[in-house]
């Protein structure tokens, strides 16, 4: 009887651990510091450093949540900042923007500053080493290994490279 109870407990524990691992499978692909390598504007022109630079920080704060901060600069006095909290559900996510400076990412920089709680939703698709986050506002994040491509609805595409992994609160 004790052996069957132990087996049941181990089975239940295994199911719970598998479920938790499933909830974090996408976070392992995203987390870390990413450096902007290049931007291809809507006209197809590629812009590289030093004409553009940027950092994207994806920091897990829980198994199903992450803090994301993006900063992009195209000159000494031009900067765009986007900060949001991403929350994950099976195959889907929401991103609640907490801060925008310099306008919408992927668009020309303007003098706007927003601290609104604008929220977008989206779908997650995973195939082999490729993970795609499609946002309801038309933005698409495509992660393949240490490469990230962010494509905006206006056709601008940013190419990022992973600099370092940030495990945050997630244990491997």
- Minimal CA–CA distance to 100: which of 78, 87, 116, 85? 116
For 10-63, the pLDDT digits (tens) are 333 333 333 334 444 557 778 899 999 999 998 999 999 889 999 999 998 888
In a domain, 157, yes or no: yes
In a domain, 106, yes or no: yes
What residues pair up with 74 in beta bridges, in sequence order? none
In a domain, 169, yes or no: no
pLDDT at 75: 79
In a domain, 171, yes or no: no
Angstrom distance (rounded) from CA 84 to CA 81: 10
pLDDT at 78: 83
Residue 16, SS3 per DSSP:
helix
| Mean pLDDT for the stretch of residues 133-144 | 95
Q: How far is CA 77 from CA 38, 39, 55, 119, in A?
A: 19, 18, 16, 28
| Mean pLDDT for the stretch of residues 121-125 | 95
For 62-83, the pLDDT digits (tens) are 889 999 999 999 877 788 889 9
Please give the residue range of the domain that contains residue 30. 2-164
Cβ-based burial of 18 (10 A; exposed 0-12, middle 13-18, buried ≥19) = exposed
* Total number of domains in the chain: 1
CATH of the domain at 53: 2.40.128.20
Q: Are 152 and 44 in contact (CB under 8 A)?
A: no
In a domain, 170, yes or no: no
């Amino acid at each position: 009887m004790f052996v069957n109870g132990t087996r049941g407990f181990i089975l239940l524990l295994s199911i719970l651990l598998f479920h938790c691992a499933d909830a974090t499978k996408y976070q392992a692909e995203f987390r870390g510091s990413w450096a902007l390598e290049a931007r291809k504007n809507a006209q197809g022109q590629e812009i590289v450093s030093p004409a553009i630079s940027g950092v994207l920080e994806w920091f897990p704060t829980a198994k199903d949540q992450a803090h994301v901060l993006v900063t992009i600069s195209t000159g000494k006095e031009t900067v765009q900042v986007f900060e949001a909290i991403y929350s994950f559900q099976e195959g889907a996510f929401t991103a609640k923007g907490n801060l925008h400076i310099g306008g919408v990412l992927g668009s020309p920089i303007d003098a706007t500053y927003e601290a609104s709680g604008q929220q977008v939703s989206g779908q997650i698709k995973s195939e082999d080493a490729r993970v795609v986050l499609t946002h309801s506002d038309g933005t698409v994040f495509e992660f393949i290994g240490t490469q990230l491509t962010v494509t905006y609805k206006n056709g601008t595409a940013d190419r990022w490279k992973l600099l370092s992994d940030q495990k945050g609160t997630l244990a491997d």
